[in-house]
Structure 1
Amino acid sequence: MSVKIAPFYILLAGVLWGTTGTTQAFAPENAHPIAIGAARLAAGGLFLLCMVLLAGKLDLKNWPIKNTLMASICMALYQPLFFSAVTLTGVAIGTVTAIGSAPILSGFLEWLYLKKRPTAIWWCSTFLSILGCVLLFMNKNSVHMDPIGLLMALGAGLTFAGYTLVSRDLVENYSSLSVVAVVFTLSAIFLSPFLFIFDMSWLGSVRGLTVSLHLGILATGIAYFLFSKGLVHVSSSTAVTLALAEPLTAALLGVFVLDESLNMTSWLGILLLLLGIGVLIGSSKSSERDLEPGVVQKH
């Protein structure tokens, strides 16, 4: 796979993640957000496990247990941290803090762990994208600044950044399908207690089952598989910035599917998001290596 194609895998993953909010809007009223997150991982993990078994690509010989556990724990923690943050401090602040902090934290972890400084192109793109994300959500009603909610949102951003960094190391040496299958199966096991804590009767309805399958198969299984394939040729910091296509997709679906309205500030935010993502994609035309500010050499 060419390095020039890799960013589009990540963009497509972001688009699929962006359908999560719209899909949840159609979930039964008695479906708790954390319960939806647990069901999402359970369906996604099972789907990926079946796919890797059917493809015959599951080879656990010399599998790196430490990195796999770290990636699984990060993904398992992300779900309750993000949904709890949104519940405590509102959709706008919770989403902007979690999604907006992830690229910065990813760049910091990459610098600290891999000793690779992100390029000026990455800083420019990330600044434009995060500013666009902030402007995009400024028209939302909820602006409640709950300290605990903010900490949880930052924790969600950190766990996603950590997952991306560790996963990139895994996909360099193992197939992307095997990596996501193992990681998400373990993550689903870690979150399985929530399936017994919360009311899961909503899964018995057609609408509830449809929502969980969409979130599990498309927004988790296929999305993270594409994300992992892109990580083979894209640094973790760049990947997290490109994944900001998620709020962009969510906002547009809100307008065209849920009949939500956006003011001029939010449309300016969408423009900046597109510009920020375009800077990273466009940089590949001058140099394929420009797109990898912290590329890891195999060792």
Structure 2
Amino acid sequence: MMAIKTAPLFVLFAAILWGTTGTAQAFAPAAAHPIAIGAARLVVGGVFLLLVALLLGKLNIKGWPIGPTLLAALSMACYQPLFFSAVNQTGVAVGTVIAIGSAPILSGLLEAIFFRRRPSSIWWGATALSIIGCVLLFLTGDTVVIKPMGILLALGAGLSFAGYTLVSGQIVKGKGPLETAAVIFGIGGVFLMPFLFLFDMQWILQPRGIAVSLHLGIIATASAYFLFSKGLQQVPASSAVSLSLAEPFTAAILGVVLVGEELNLLSWVGIGMLLGGIILLSSASIRSEPA
């Protein structure tokens, strides 16, 4: 059985893999629409997880919680179009900050409402530090576009991720992490398949399209969410969502190193605050569990 102390590290590793999605999309063919990329990512990831689970004999649908599973799959399926639509309405900076920054707060509220579990003071401090860091990271000096519909879409994306984390965290305690991720993403992929017929998908047959789709589906989705589900066996949903703020940190570093993006001083300060909040929360999570 997994050592309890390592659970937060699985969540962190998952977030680091998620952080590669932006860089991978930057190398996608120009004709690839962001929503189509998101749909392909979930479909490829879901199919891969189901195949692995079947090959390893880890897929047992007996006694499966249908209601929570459908809710988790719907939450993950909604996240992709909500997030990319929010970014389209408000711009990358505002849409990303609101979606990613609101998720930990919404997750903490959902946990308090449905499970009467109040986040610790360390969680509040580390989450606040990370969210402020996230805001500074995307404070590039560009013109900020505030559109009410875009804000609502971004909040919907944050709520979708928080809801997925909360529900799947309950499912994974009765089922294995591979089994949980396979079923949820398999169904989520079915929900998003219609998007594959709404956009021109010829880009996916190009060498770069194949490479990007496989990376996003297998590495940034299947592997990442397997690790995330494994971590959720021990880490509370609110802490897991806060630890997932390692995603924008990773994305920023990869953007500088691989894509050649430039960050201003405030962005580097934001990276430092993000890293500080993540270290504080992960250290507290590890220390709070018995050896």
Q: By the TM > 0.5 criterion, same fold?
A: yes
Normalising by structure 2, report the TM-score: 0.97
Task: Report deviation, 1:287.
Answer: 2.8
Aligned residues: 289
Q: Distance in 1 between matches of 2:282 and 2:62?
A: 36
Aligned to 1:37: 38
Could you tell me which residue of structure 1 aligns to residue 246 of structure 2?
245
Counterpart AA for 1:274? L
**Kept after mapping to 2: 8 A contact 1:52/1:177:** yes
TM-score w.r.t. structure 1 length? 0.95
**Match in the other structure for 1:201:** 202
- Structure 1's 140 and 212: CA in aligned 2 closer, same or farther, altered over 3 A? farther
* Structure 1 residue 84: Cα displacement: 0.7
Shift in Å at residue 285 of structure 1?
5.5
SS in 2 for 1:116: coil
- How far does the alpha carbon of each residue in 1:220-270 deviate from its partner, in whole angstroms, 9 at most, with x for none? 000000000000010000000000000000000010011111111111111
* 1:81 corresponds to: 82
Unaligned runs of 5+ in 2: none
Is the contact made by 1:67 and 1:170 (CA closer than 8 Å) also made in structure 2? Answer: yes
Cα separation, 1, equivalents of 2:265 and 2:194: 44
Counterparts of 1:102-141 in structure 2, within 5 Å, are 102-139=103-140, 141=142
In the other structure, the counterpart of 1:69 is: 70
> For residues 29 and 144 of structure 2, what CA distance do their matches in structure 1 show?
26
How does 1:113-262 map onto structure 2 within 5 Å? 113-139=114-140, 141-262=142-263
Q: Which amino acid aligns with 1:134?
A: V
Counterparts in 2 of 1:140 and 1:193: CA distance versus 1, 3 Å:
farther
Residue matched to 1:288: 289
CA 1:2–1:142: 2 relative to 1, 3 Å:
farther
Give the deviation of 1:141 after TM superposition: 2.7
Taking the aligned partners of 2:133 and 2:36, their CA distance within structure 1 comes to 30
Contact 2:8-2:285 at 8 Å conserved across structures: no
1:10-29 equivalence runs, <5 A:
10-29=11-30
Identity of matched residues, %: 60
2-structure distance, mates of 1:168, 1:125: 21
Letter in 1 for 2:210: L
The CA distance in 2 between the partners of 1:180 and 1:287, in whole Å, is 26
Code of the residue aligned with 2:281 in structure 1: it is L
d(CA) in 2 for partners of 1:273 and 1:140? 19
Provide the rounded CA distance (Å) in 2 between the counterparts of 1:248 and 1:140: 19
Whole-Å Cα distance in 2 between the matches of residues 159 and 101 of structure 1?
Answer: 11
Equivalent residue of 2:106, what SS? helix
| Structure 1 alignment gaps of length 5 or more | 290-299
Contact 1:97 1:150 in 2 (8 A): yes
* Counterpart secondary structure, 1:209: helix
- Give the corresponding residue for 1:273: 274
Q: Partners of 1:286 and 1:53 in 2: how far apart? A: 36
What is the CA–CA distance in structure 2 between the aligned matches of 1:140 and 1:250, rounded to whole Å? 19
CA RMSD of aligned residues (A): 1.0
Structure 1 pair 33/285, CA: closer, same or farther in 2 (3 Å)? closer
**Residue of structure 2 in register with 1:52 after alignment:** 53
* Post-superposition offset of 1:286: 4.2
Letter matched to residue 52 of structure 2: M
Is the 8 Å Cα contact of residues 136 and 265 (structure 1) preserved in structure 2? Answer: yes
Aligned-partner SS, 2:70: helix
Runs of 4 or more consecutive aligned structure 1 residues displaced over 2 Å after TM superposition: 284-287
Query: Residue by residue, what CA displacement relative to the aligned partner does 1:66-115 show, whole Å, maximum 9, x if unpaired?
Result: 00000000000001000111111100000000000000000000000101
